Amino acid sequence: PAATTTVTVPGAATTVTAPGATTTVTAPGGTATGKPIPSEPIKIGILTYFSGSNAVVDVQIWWAAQMLAEKINSEGGILGRKIELVQMDVGPNTDTCVQNYRKLVLENHVDLVTGDLASSNGLAVAPICEELKCPTIYLSTTTTHIFEDVDPKPKYLFRAGNYNTMEAVSCALHIKRHHPDVKRVAGINPDYAYGRDSWQMFVAALQKLLPQVEVVYEAWPPLGTTDFTSHITATLNAKPDVVFSVLYASDIVAFMKQAVGYGFFKQVPLFYNALGYISFNMLTKDVCPEGLYFQARDYYFLWPPAEIWPIQGWFVPEFYKRWKQYPNIDAGQLYSAIDAYKRAVEKVYALTGEYPTNEQIVEAMAGSSCVGPMGYRTIRREDHQFLSPAPIGKSKHSPDYPFVILDELEFIQPEECAAPPGVKSLDWIKSWKI
């Protein structure tokens, strides 16, 4: 027989049985009749880049959403409710992004919004999310300012991606452990909030860990740059020991092609990139040489192995079968975002016998856990940040894939690279006792 657990919720004694069994709620003085489960589908708005340079990466969010929705629907949906996806482009600027977010919530009446908004748009949408009280889970929208400054006590907003402090600090820790003699550092980073924040965190962490380090050059190419010549030559002239970058999507490909032509990676001893591997399907062997370090944020498509994590055993081959690409970081985060929402809905219903409100759903998500192809993930109660170990590896050519894979893979734990809740990242780094 199924195991039975008794828990207490306000105003009711609730009996919860194993999955598939009936949940009963008994209130003082009689039997509670819960609100019925709605018959209409659960609408999930996918707000991300379907146009522009980021679309080559973000299209995988839509692909993963379709796959997961079909899988959940084939298994009975969420409490019997099927998932219906609503597609919405971020648009060319912040005003359009905010307008499209409002449209999803107020006109399309979605139950959940998720996607990659990019840092500047994420900052603008955060207060709108709280105003409209719609559960929203950012993916790769990683600026620290979202939860450190704009929305420090979030209620309806969550983030499913490891954020830029974790990326920058994990790279600095890796350098400290493996290349402690570096002295000269340069950066080539996109000129917007994410790029500048990441560089600031990286330099602060690296100089705290290795006080001898000096910054010898900073390059700030705008997003969508196609000619990196001036940045490449200026960086080489500065003679750095290590170059740190968060270029990604079409930018990292353009940079790599031009850098190889200048012999950049033969002259620069160490190259660390904290986001470029989101574009690994584009980092073909003729574009990316071996021996470069990539931080894969929170998901690497070859880890964990399928034999020890069945989700990978389904997700990766099915993704490739359907889309002829392997799943990137955003696709993995999308899986964990929808899983977290599904678990929260089912958890509240199991405890109360009633279909949950948005307020109950977000309360159930905070402080809980979920799964994705990367493994188990925790969700911090204080700032709604999903956390996973941060993978770093060295680029390697493999006969099994047309692009570079990661060798010498290491994982930096969240406790090492994420600031505690309520502490700003720079203040946390400055407080380190080395």
Domains of the chain: 42-160+304-373 (3.40.50.2300), 165-300+391-430 (3.40.50.2300)
Sheet of 293-295: strand order equals 214-219, 184-188, 242-245, 270-273, 293-295, 390-396, 405-412
Integer-rounded Cα radius of gyration of the chain: 22
pLDDT class of 281 with cuts at 50, 70, 90: very high
Specify the pTM. 0.91
Nearest partner of 192 among 141, 268, 240, 244, judged by Cα: 141
Residue (of 238, 332, 250, 256) closest to 292 by Cα position: 256
**What is 331-342 written as a DSSP string?**
HHHHHHHHHHHH
- The pLDDT value given to residue 21: 33
Band of pLDDT at residue 434, cut at 50, 70 and 90: confident
Per-residue pLDDT tens over the stretch 90-140:
999 999 999 999 999 999 999 999 999 998 999 999 999 999 999 999 998
28, burial (CB in 10 Å: exposed 0-12, middle 13-18, buried 19+): exposed
pLDDT score at 88:
99
What residues does 113 pair with on adjacent strands? 45, 136
- Residues 406, 45: Cα–Cα separation, whole Å: 33
Cis peptide before 304 (omega within 30 of 0): yes
Residue 345 has pLDDT above 90, yes or no: yes
Tokens of 79: 């409490």
Averaged pLDDT, 192-197: 90
Cα angle 158-319-365, degrees, rounded to a multiple of 5: 20
* Confidence class for position 34, pLDDT limits 50, 70, 90: low
Q: What is the mean pLDDT of the chain?
A: 93
Please give the average per-residue pLDDT across 191-196, as a whole number. 90
* Residue 24 scores a pLDDT above 90: no
Buried b (16+ CB within 10 A) or exposed e, 266-281: eebbbbbbbbbbbbbb
Q: In angstroms, what CA-CA distances link 195 with 200, 235, 426?
A: 9, 17, 15
pLDDT band of residue 9 (cuts 50, 70, 90) is: very low
The whole-number average pLDDT for the span 220-234 is: 97
Q: How many residues are recorded in the chain? A: 434
* Tokens standing for residue 170: 């994990």
State yes or no: pLDDT of 15 exceeds 80: no
Do the beta carbons of residue 182 and residue 242 sit within 8 Å?
yes
Q: What is the pLDDT of residue 107?
A: 99
13-17, 147-151, 211-215, 365-369: the lowest-pLDDT one: 13-17
pLDDT at residue 32 is higher than 80: no
